[in-house]
Structure 1
Amino acid sequence: MKEIKIESTLYVFDNLNELPEDVVSLMDKAAEARDKAYAPYSKFHVGAALLLDNGEIISGSNQENASYPSGLCAERTAIYYAGSQYPDAQIVRMAITAGSKLKTTFEPIPPCGACRQAIAEYEIKQELPIEIYFMGETGKVAKSNSLANLLPLGFDKSSL
């Protein structure tokens, strides 16, 4: 038997004021998207904003459906739109903010597993890491230099 130790590195900032202005601006776009979420069932609103290498900013919000599996998360809404409209552009950075209509969220809320897999696909496709910032509605902000920190032992085309 062989033991494998997996480590991830995240950076946690106390609030948005500790971040560079361009990251704060991107998080503001994510918050605007969060406000457009359609989440009548979970009351959990998520917004994501992507900075592409061509300077475009793409945002998305979660869109629920009474048939739960038919909805789509904010991160995938944004990343799939970017992929369809700007197929040759690379995603430089992603900002995500999530909040509940039932309580205030203060801690960083990372992407769900399905979104991590989708982000991983684009990171692998472009052969460059995607910088990811995520937070609740307010408070601390976490930063990962790559999706690989959030999804170790990822599944990709090499497994097929």
Structure 2
Amino acid sequence: MKKHIIETVLEVYDSITELPKDIQQLMNKAQEARDRAYAPYSSFMVGAALQLANGEVVLGNNQENAAYPSGLCAERVAVFYAGATYPGVAVNNVALTVKSLKHIVETPTPPCGACRQSLAEYEVNQKSPMTVYFMGEKGKVVKANSIKDLLPLVFDSSFLK
């Protein structure tokens, strides 16, 4: 029996200031979006900024609802808006940041499973990787060169054929 190994490589930066200037600006936009999130139930605010191939930046933040789980995560708000407004335009970079109203989040916080799957759908369709940067409220930033680094066994449309 031949054994196969699946590995993921992520880069970790000590702070946002170590990122390239354009990614710092993208993360700043994600922080601004995060601070406008509607999170009265979880007190956990998430912001996303997507840099598209056409140069546009699309923002999203989590939107909660009293009828849990009717709300939507920041990543899906942003990527669905990008798909609706700029169909067929690739997402090059994704910046994500979180903030709790109960404590300071210093641990880089990746997208949830549903958001990873939604981002993977767009990455597979665009046939090019999207780089994902994520952080807490402050501190370290993690870089994944593809959503497949965060969801290595991606479920896509090839399984439905």
Q: Same-fold call, TM > 0.5?
A: yes
* Residue 128 of structure 1 pairs with residue 136 of structure 2: no
Shift of 1:71: 0.4
Unaligned runs of 5+ in 2: none
| Aligned residue identity for 1:135 | M
Counterpart CA distance in 1 for 2:50 and 2:149 is 18
2:32 corresponds to 1:21: no
Counting only pairs closer than 5 Å after superposition, residues 1-160 of structure 1 correspond to structure 2 as 3-160=3-160
Aligned partners of 1:4, 1:32: CA distance in 2, in Å?
Answer: 42
- Using the size of structure 1 for normalisation, the TM-score is 0.97
RMSD over aligned Cα atoms: 0.9
- TM-score of the superposed pair, with normalisation by structure 2: 0.97
- What is the identity, as a one-letter code, of the residue corresponding to 2:84? S
| Structure 1 unaligned spans of 5+ | none
Distance in 2 (CA, whole Å) between partners of 1:117 and 1:3 is 26
Task: Give 1:5 shift.
Answer: 2.2
- 1:2 Cα deviation from its structure 2 partner: 5.3
Moved over 6 A (4+): none
Q: For this pair of structures, how many residues does the alignment match?
A: 160
Q: Which amino acid aligns with 2:139?
A: G
Give 1:130 deviation, angstroms.
Answer: 0.2
